């Protein structure tokens, strides 16, 4: 059995929870379709240190494989797009029952599976 390593570059927010990330992923899979009209760009990501994955709500999300890279500039999204993503992410977090969230922003999340 080997390990798989990758990194995710995403715009989103981390959800602090006592649940396992896979439990939160199942919750998001069931609930996000219900708010798709108001939050069309919001998805979710579970990633982190092997069996201690973290849970995120994300909009833009790219996987960056080992040996690859992602070119990031401040112009990766317009100010209007970022404001809309912020609104959607906060609305989705509230609709899913998450009260204590980090501020939305660009995330780099290493993952080991």
Domain ranges for the chain, please list them: 5-112
Residues, the chain: 113
8 pLDDT higher than 80: yes
CA–CA distance, 62 with 84 (Å, rounded to integer): 19
Radius of gyration of the chain (CA): 14
How many other CB atoms are found less than 10 A from the CB of residue 28? Answer: 22
In angstroms, rounded to a whole number, what is the distance separating the alpha carbons of residues 50 and 74?
Answer: 31
pLDDT in tens, 36-52: 999 999 999 998 877 78
Condensed to tens digits (0 to 9), the pLDDT of residues 19-75 reads: 888 999 999 999 999 999 999 999 999 988 777 888 999 998 888 887 888 777 767
Q: Are 57 and 21 in contact (CB under 8 A)?
A: no
* pLDDT value at residue 1: 55
What is the reported pLDDT for 7? 87
Domain covering 5-112, topology: Alpha-Beta Plaits (3.30.70)
């Amino acid at each position: 059995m080997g390990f798989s390593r990758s990194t995710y570059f995403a715009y989103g927010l981390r959800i602090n929870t006592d649940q396992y990330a896979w439990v939160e992923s199942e919750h998001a899979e069931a609930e996000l379709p219900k708010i798709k009209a108001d939050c069309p760009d919001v998805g979710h990501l579970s990633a982190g240190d092997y069996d201690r994955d973290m849970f995120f709500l994300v909009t833009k999300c790219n996987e960056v494989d080992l040996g690859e890279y992602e070119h990031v500039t401040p112009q990766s999204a317009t100010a209007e797009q970022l404001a809309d993503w912020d609104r959607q992410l906060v609305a989705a977090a509230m609709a899913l029952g998450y009260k204590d969230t980090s501020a939305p922003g660009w995330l780099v999340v290493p993952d080991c599976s």
